[in-house]
Amino acid sequence: EVQLVESGGGLVQPGGSLKLSCAASGFIFSSYDMHWVRQPTGKGLEWVSAIGTAGDTYYLGSVKGRFTISRENAKKSWYLQMNSLRAGDTAVYYCARASLVNPFALDIWGQGTMVIVSS
Amino acid sequence: QSVLTQPPSVSGAPGQRVAISCTGSSSNIGAGYDVHWYQQLPGTAPKLLIYGNINRPSGVPARFSGSKSGTSASLAITGLQAEDEADYYCQSYDSSLSYVFGTGTKVTVL
């Protein structure tokens, strides 16, 4: 079964750091671009970051310089290191796989992990 | 901030047809980038519903269809069913902001 499982969310103080992980199973991980998308409670979806198969990285403007996306093909996992966290970063964070048929579409999503930035 | 605009809500009785619009600009939909649609049932992760403007992934019922014209796109649900009650989001690529999602539309089955 194709599956993505996030972990690493939690409560962190403003200015703090958190590292999210996403573990993949059921597909050839190294062949896919991978994304992070977040959703504040009761609000819409917001794309955060992506990493290509060659390790090329892309970020939402407001997280550039604070967040770092990475991948570890041997462990079929990728990560989002979040530093200098702000209250506005509070959200459910989803990892998602880009489709091979249309790489701009996200065809598999994880269940999400909650990040709360609060003092 | 979302650069793709959707109506906050649409509603219809079972069996009816509803349509959700997604309005962008010349830097995203109008630039030729594809539009994709996602369904988010309450308390769950989004699910890909339509990709590449008009294509349905395997397992998505044929009552869901997509279209695109100019700087806008639309998702139609024909023969509305109770289980279609959810939030729906369009998504595209913007030449200045990278991947972008719509503001989201809540579909209510009366």
Q: What are the pLDDT digits (tens) for B24-55? A: 999 999 999 999 999 999 999 999 999 999 99
Residue contact A109–B51, C-beta within 8 A: no
Give the Cβ contact number of residue B17 at 10 Å. 11
Whether the pLDDT of residue A117 is over 80: the answer is: yes
pLDDT digits (tens, 9 = 90+) for A43-82: 999 999 999 999 999 999 999 999 999 999 889 999 999 9
What's the pLDDT tens digit per position in A31-53?
A: 999 999 999 999 999 999 999 99
Contact A46 B91 (CB under 8 A): no
What is the DSSP secondary-structure string of chain A?
--EEEEE--EEE-TT--EEEEEEEESS-GGGS-EEEEEE-TTS--EEEEEE-TTS-EEE-GGGBTTEEEEEEGGGTEEEEEE-S--GGG-EEEEEEEEPSSSTTSEEEE---EEEEE--
| pLDDT at B1 > cutoff 70 | no
pLDDT at B92 (0 to 100): 97
Q: Tell me if B104 and A102 make a contact (CB, 8 A cut-off).
A: no
Contact A108, A97 (CB under 8 A): yes
pLDDT at A13 over 70: yes
Distance to chain A for B37, nearest Cα, Å: 9
> Which residues in chain A are contacts of B33 at CB distance < 8 A?
104
pLDDT of residue A69: 98
